[in-house]
Amino acid sequence: MLSYDEAAARVAAYAAQLHYCGIVQRVPLDQAQGRVLASPLLADSDQPPFARSTRDGYACRAAEASSHKQLALAGATRAGQPPAGPLLPGTAWEIMTGAPVPAGADAVMMLEHVEAVNGRVRLLPPRTIAAGENIVAQGAQARAGDELLPVGAAIGFAQLALAASCGYAQVDVFPRPRVAILSTGDEIVPVESIPTTGQIRNSNGPMLAALVAAAGGEPWVLPIAADAADALDAALAQAAEADLLLITGGVSAGKFDLVEPALARRGARFHFTGVRMQPGKPVVFGEFPPSATDLNQNQGPAQRCCLGLPGNPVSSAVTFLLFAAPLLAALSGRLDHGPRFALARLADDVKGKAGLTRFLPASCTFAATTGALPEVVRVAWQGSGDIGAMARSNCFLVLPEETEVLHAGDTVRILLV
Ligand code: AMP
Ligand code: MG
């Protein structure tokens, strides 16, 4: 059985060779949040397009202003007005934030730093000013035609702002990968049902749909499948067109854990079946042979793959974050894959388990005081079926497999959600 690190490396290697060849969609900018750029974002002009004042104040020649002599006000420019000037020697020019600096000026004195009397201004001693202060030169951020964001950049608020600043009312994005979600188990009933004794509601389906959507995929929730070979075969056939198939339940070693053989019947080749981790030990990662349509179209992902996630909700969530999210990122055409880890300071001692990397629901206080690491504390849980513990956590504490105990005050890794 692979260690967590080995399994993560297999997924990363597989994700790295998935190349998205094919379709590009053009979407309005207000629908681009969470999508992935399929064409590079280019600067339509110099940024800024003119030397811009970053302050309300007076444009000047820095050397003259620093001598503290009185400078006659020669004019004024507001934001939105065209560049004015030139600025003659011995003069200053009233200017507002965002306005173009007049030719000849090389600095802007802040309003608060000058004495203004009778149409003349003077930089108050002992303050001096250097050339370039409070001015962003034309093209300092980018030159017209520069690539500002590469293909594969994920679009969030900052990327949207950049696209808007360059006049992109629409952007080219990759299609969202279609992720089939199949919950299995004789005991699993839909959320609308009142479970009879022995039954439980399907919480993994909605949870995985939310995780998939947050990771940029398009969730496709299939009906619950029973623990029976024919039911699984039918469900897997239905899911064949998905870019990624997520199955929960039925991957452990029990008598009715029939998912792995069902995947094998569809020709799956397994990269791993089980990982030395807790929760999530039975997790399965497989790859399907290309279908006839895949071979004909030469579009979409190079292969279709599947993850069998253990049915316990915390196991499903952890294995999704560690293994499914990177695959989904790669299938979306994103440049950056991989789960997100961070460092934190442990509040209390936590025991490890020999031979297993543990990922325990934990609560991290991110509003740390300056200079200190965020503090993380375990959330009490009753094992990997404890959805409440997970719902009260905001990260997972990582215990490497060789760890006997982590002590209060230790710097530890957390898996971000
Ligand atoms: P399994 O992986 O099939 O052995 O299931 C492990 C545990 O997870 C069992 O207690 C199942 O009842 C539970 N479980 C399986 N599937 C789901 C699901 N879709 N939603 C909530 N719990 C589940
Ligand atoms: Mg089961």
Unique residue bearing structure tokens 């303050």? 127
Would residue 232 count as lying in a domain?
yes
- Residue 270 CB partners (closer than 8 Å, separation 6+): 260, 263, 264, 284, 285, 286
Helices (H), 17-122: 62-66
Residues 324 and 411 in one domain: no
**pLDDT score recorded for residue 291:** 75
Residue 310 Cβ < 6 Å to ligand 1: yes
Q: Whose CA is nearest to atom 7 of ligand 1?
A: 312
Alpha carbon distances (Å) from 362 to 76, 340, 349, 378: 58, 15, 13, 4
**pLDDT score recorded for residue 297:** 65
Q: Is 237 exposed, middle or buried (0-12, 13-18, 19+ CB in 10 A)?
A: exposed
**CATH code, 383:** 2.40.340.10
Residue 152 Cβ < 6 Å to ligand 1: no
Query: How many angstroms is it from 357 CA to the middle of ligand 1?
Result: 21
Q: Whose CA is nearest to atom 15 of ligand 1?
A: 311
**pLDDT score recorded for residue 166:** 97
**CATH code, 322:** 3.40.980.10
Residue 183 Cβ < 6 Å to ligand 1: yes
Q: Which ligand is nearest to the CA of 316?
A: 1
Q: Which two tokens stand for residue 100?
A: 């173009």
**Three-state secondary structure of 316-342:** HHHHHHHHHHHHHHHHCCCCCCCCCEE
The residue out of 305, 331, 357 marking a domain boundary is 331
Residue 250 Cβ < 6 Å to ligand 1: yes
Residue 187 Cβ < 6 Å to ligand 1: yes
Residues 110 and 226 in one domain: no
**pLDDT score recorded for residue 100:** 97
User: Is 325 in contact with 309 (CB distance < 8 Å)?
Assistant: no
**pLDDT score recorded for residue 253:** 85
Residues 244 and 390 in one domain: no
User: Is 220 in contact with 180 (CB distance < 8 Å)?
Assistant: yes
SS3 (DSSP) at 67: coil
Alpha-carbon gap, residue 370 to 367, rounded angstroms: 9
**pLDDT score recorded for residue 303:** 62
Query: How many angstroms is it from 193 CA to the middle of ligand 2?
Result: 18
Residue 280 Cβ < 6 Å to ligand 1: no
Residues 313 and 209 in one domain: yes
Query: How many angstroms is it from 417 CA to the middle of ligand 2?
Result: 25
Residue 313 Cβ < 6 Å to ligand 1: yes
Q: Candidates 189, 197, 200: which one to mutate for ligand 1, based on the most atoms within 8 Å of Cβ? A: 200
**CATH code, 67:** 2.170.190.11
User: Both ends of the chain: CA-CA distance in Å?
Assistant: 26
Q: Which ligand is nearest to the CA of 253?
A: 1
Query: How many angstroms is it from 261 CA to the middle of ligand 2?
Result: 14
**pLDDT score recorded for residue 390:** 98
Would residue 59 count as lying in a domain?
yes
**pLDDT score recorded for residue 91:** 97
Residues 184 and 325 in one domain: yes
Would residue 304 count as lying in a domain?
yes
Alpha-carbon gap, residue 324 to 246, rounded angstroms: 8
> How does pLDDT run along the chain (417 residues), one tens digit per residue?
999 999 999 999 999 988 666 689 999 999 999 999 999 999 999 999 999 999 999 999 999 999 999 999 999 999 999 999 899 999 999 999 999 999 999 999 999 999 999 999 999 999 999 999 999 999 999 999 999 999 999 999 999 999 999 999 999 999 999 999 999 999 999 999 999 999 999 999 999 999 999 999 999 999 999 999 999 999 999 999 899 999 999 999 888 899 999 999 999 999 999 999 999 999 999 999 887 777 766 555 556 899 999 999 999 999 999 999 999 999 999 988 889 999 999 999 999 999 999 999 999 999 867 788 999 999 999 999 999 999 999 999 999 999 999 999 999 999 999
In terms of residues, how long is the chain?
Answer: 417
- Residue 14 neighbours by CB distance under 10 Å: 18
Residue 206 Cβ < 6 Å to ligand 1: no
Q: Which ligand is nearest to the CA of 246?
A: 1
SS3 (DSSP) at 45: coil
Residues 213 and 289 in one domain: yes
Residue 249 Cβ < 6 Å to ligand 1: yes
Residue 86: cis peptide before it, omega within 30 degrees of 0: yes
Phi, psi dihedrals of residue 116, rounded to the nearest 5°: -115, 115
- Find residue 93's DSSP bridge partners: 59
The residue out of 273, 297, 331 marking a domain boundary is 331
Alpha-carbon gap, residue 59 to 121, rounded angstroms: 11
Number of domains into which the chain is organized: 3
**Three-state secondary structure of 175-240:** CCCEEEEEEECCCEECCCCCCCCCCEECCHHHHHHHHHHHCCCEEEECCCECCCHHHHHHHHHHHH
Query: How many angstroms is it from 185 CA to the middle of ligand 2?
Result: 5
Alpha-carbon gap, residue 239 to 102, rounded angstroms: 64
DSSP assignment letter at 62: H
The boundaries of the domain holding residue 377 are: 341-416
Q: Long-range contacts: 80-85, Cβ < 8 Å, 24+?
A: 83/50, 83/51
User: Is 297 in contact with 40 (CB distance < 8 Å)?
Assistant: no
Residues 123 and 184 in one domain: no
The residue out of 107, 136, 165 marking a domain boundary is 136
Q: Is the dihedral of CA 328, 314, 213, 161 positive or negative?
A: negative
Residues 189 and 276 in one domain: yes
Residues 305 and 200 in one domain: yes
SS3 (DSSP) at 265: helix
Residues 316 and 350 in one domain: no
Residue 216 Cβ < 6 Å to ligand 1: no
Q: Which two tokens stand for residue 361?
A: 């629901």
Nearest to 365 by CA among 377, 348, 379, 350: 377
Residues 8 and 101 in one domain: no
Q: Which two tokens stand for residue 16?
A: 């790295």
Query: How many angstroms is it from 410 CA to the middle of ligand 1?
Result: 34
Residue 252 Cβ < 6 Å to ligand 1: yes
Residues 327 and 354 in one domain: no
**pLDDT score recorded for residue 20:** 64
- Residue 285 CB partners (closer than 8 Å, separation 6+): 7, 10, 11, 14, 270, 271, 272, 305, 306, 307, 308, 323
Q: Long-range contacts: 197-201, Cβ < 8 Å, 24+?
A: none
Question: pTM of this prediction?
Answer: 0.92
Q: Which residues surround ligand 2, an ion (CB under 5 A)?
A: 185, 249-250
**pLDDT score recorded for residue 275:** 98
Query: How many angstroms is it from 250 CA to the middle of ligand 1?
Result: 8
Would residue 264 count as lying in a domain?
yes
Query: How many angstroms is it from 204 CA to the middle of ligand 2?
Result: 12
